[in-house]
């Protein structure tokens, strides 16, 4: 999930597929990729491959931790103790995903602090889905169902991506994401069986999250710059449009069971294609949110920066204490 900006045209596309920096190593690398093998941290890899991975993995990691904010918004107001525990555990899982992913990125020679600095200064992107506000409790269910659902569609192929540490992190993450999706859907089922007000809340949340969710798959294949190279490197295995279609097909049926309608009058089954047709995506809205032209982005980043800055004295204290302890040990020895 959360790797949409990988395909953003205006980011300088690394051209020159398989640029030859070192012909012998390059041949070995290519052969491994072509055979569907894994590249490990100690293996030689082209610089462009390394850079692309750092960008993709760190963007994913940032998305996980920024993603803690919209859902965290409801932890203190969860309606039952059981739901509170489920939500807290879910948000904690997302933090764990951030940790695995930063660790995977670190195998590529960058530090977590550098990556966080890029996030805090606005140089690195995170998934724009998390810039949307969570307005009612139903948003918590809809995020689990649609946002985690879209994330799973995007991420399952990455469990077999060519970079070993990333693939292994994704296996753990995908397991937890599908758990989140089921919990979200269960929350919505319960609300739909409830009062009229609860059903209205669910429908309102679906109205707000549907289009942003299907935008999570990124631009159409014809507008996607990085996809070709990434596919060749085995770090993007299924196209944006194919994944999006798969997601729409799966969720429309779930919506029927739930008893909600998607806010798209053009959504209907196409017998010939064997898929659901859906309306045109408002890409202006997509690019606006991706490029951070929105107060949602300002607020989310401000919250992350505030947490980081407020915590500076704590991190410094931990380092200083460690330094003192080591010095005392040294003196005693």
* Neighbouring residues of 128: CB distance < 8 A, sequence distance ≥ 6: 4, 212, 215, 286, 289, 290, 292, 297
Report residue 40: phi and psi, to 5°. -105, 165
142 CB-contact burial (10 Å; exposed 0-12 / middle 13-18 / buried 19+)? buried
C-alpha dist (Å) from residue 303 to 74, 131, 230, 242, 288: 15, 12, 32, 35, 20
Residue 35 CA to residue 37 CA, distance in Å, equals 6
Stretch that binds other proteins, among 186-194, 206-214, 233-241, 275-283 (CB under 8 A): 186-194
Residue 256 CA to residue 138 CA, distance in Å, equals 17
Stretch that binds Fe ion, among 174-182, 209-217, 240-248, 300-308 (CB under 5 A): 174-182
> How many residues make contact with other proteins (CB under 8 A)?
49
Residue 79 CA to residue 181 CA, distance in Å, equals 19
Q: Is 33 helix (H, G, I), strand (E, B) or coil?
A: helix
199 lies in the site for other proteins, by CB under 8 A: no
331 lies in the site for other proteins, by CB under 8 A: no
Q: Which is nearer to Fe ion, 96 or 228 (CB)?
A: 96
Among positions 289-308, residues that touch other proteins (CB under 8 A) are 303, 306-308
Stretch that binds Fe ion, among 20-28, 91-99, 213-221, 224-232 (CB under 5 A): 91-99
Among positions 134-163, residues that touch Fe ion (CB under 5 A) are 148, 151
Q: Which is nearer to other proteins, 42 or 82 (CB)?
A: 82
Residue 113 CA to residue 58 CA, distance in Å, equals 11
Stretch that binds Fe ion, among 59-67, 104-112, 127-135, 201-209 (CB under 5 A): 59-67
Out of 60, 62, 83, 180, the only residue in the binding site for other proteins (CB under 8 A) is: 83
**Around 177, how many Cα atoms within 13 Å sit in the side-chain half-sphere?**
25
- DSSP code per residue over 266-333: T-EEETTTTEEE-PPP-HHHHHHHHTT-SHHHHHHHHHHHHHHHHTHHHHHHHHHHHHHHHHHHHHH-
97 lies in the site for Fe ion, by CB under 5 A: yes
333 lies in the site for other proteins, by CB under 8 A: no
Q: Which is nearer to other proteins, 130 or 210 (CB)?
A: 130
177 lies in the site for Fe ion, by CB under 5 A: yes
41 lies in the site for other proteins, by CB under 8 A: no
Among positions 204-263, residues that touch other proteins (CB under 8 A) are none
Smallest separation, CB 223 to other proteins (Å): 33
Out of 62, 125, 180, 226, the only residue in the binding site for Fe ion (CB under 5 A) is: 180
**Around 271, how many Cα atoms within 13 Å sit in the side-chain half-sphere?**
0
> In the beta sheet, which residues pair with residue 269?
276
Q: Which is nearer to other proteins, 90 or 244 (CB)?
A: 90
Residue 77: contacted member of other proteins, Fe ion, none (CB under 5 to 8 Å, by partner type): other proteins
Where along the sequence are the contacts to Fe ion (CB under 5 A)?
Answer: 64, 94, 97, 148, 151, 177, 180
């Amino acid at each position: 999930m959360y790797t949409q900006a990988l395909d953003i045209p205006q980011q300088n596309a690394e051209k020159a597929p398989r640029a030859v920096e070192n012909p012998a190593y390059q041949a070995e690398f290519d052969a491994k990729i072509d055979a569907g093998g894994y590249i490990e941290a100690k293996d030689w890899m082209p610089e462009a491959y390394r850079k692309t991975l750092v960008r993709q993995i760190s963007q994913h990691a940032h998305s996980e931790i920024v993603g803690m904010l919209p859902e965290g918004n409801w932890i203190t107001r969860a309606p039952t103790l059981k739901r509170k525990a489920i939500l807290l555990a879910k948000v904690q899982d997302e933090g764990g995903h951030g940790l695995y992913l930063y660790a995977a990125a670190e195998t590529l020679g960058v530090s977590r602090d550098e990556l966080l600095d890029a996030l805090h200064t606005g140089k690195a992107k995170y998934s724009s889905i998390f810039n949307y506000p969570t307005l009612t409790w139903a948003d918590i269910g809809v995020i689990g169902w649609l946002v985690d659902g879209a994330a799973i569609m995007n991420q399952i192929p990455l469990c077999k991506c060519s970079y070993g540490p990333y693939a292994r992190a994704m296996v753990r993450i995908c397991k937890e994401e599908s758990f989140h999706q089921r919990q979200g859907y269960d929350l919505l089922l319960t609300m739909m069986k409830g009062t009229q007000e609860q059903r209205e809340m669910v429908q309102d949340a679906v109205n707000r999250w549907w289009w942003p969710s299907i935008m999570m798959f990124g631009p159409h294949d014809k507008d996607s710059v990085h996809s070709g190279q990434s596919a060749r490197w085995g770090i993007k295995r299924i196209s944006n449009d194919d994944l999006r279609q798969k997601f729409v097909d799966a969720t429309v049926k779930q919506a029927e069971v739930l008893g909600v309608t998607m806010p798209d009058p053009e959504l209907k089954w196409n017998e010939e294609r064997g898929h659901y047709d859906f309306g045109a995506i408002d890409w202006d809205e997509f690019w606006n949110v991706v490029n951070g032209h929105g107060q949602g982005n300002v607020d989310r980043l401000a919250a992350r920066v505030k947490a980081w800055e407020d915590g500076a004295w704590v991190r410094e204290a931990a380092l200083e204490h460690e330094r003192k302890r080591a010095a005392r040990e040294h003196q005693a020895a």
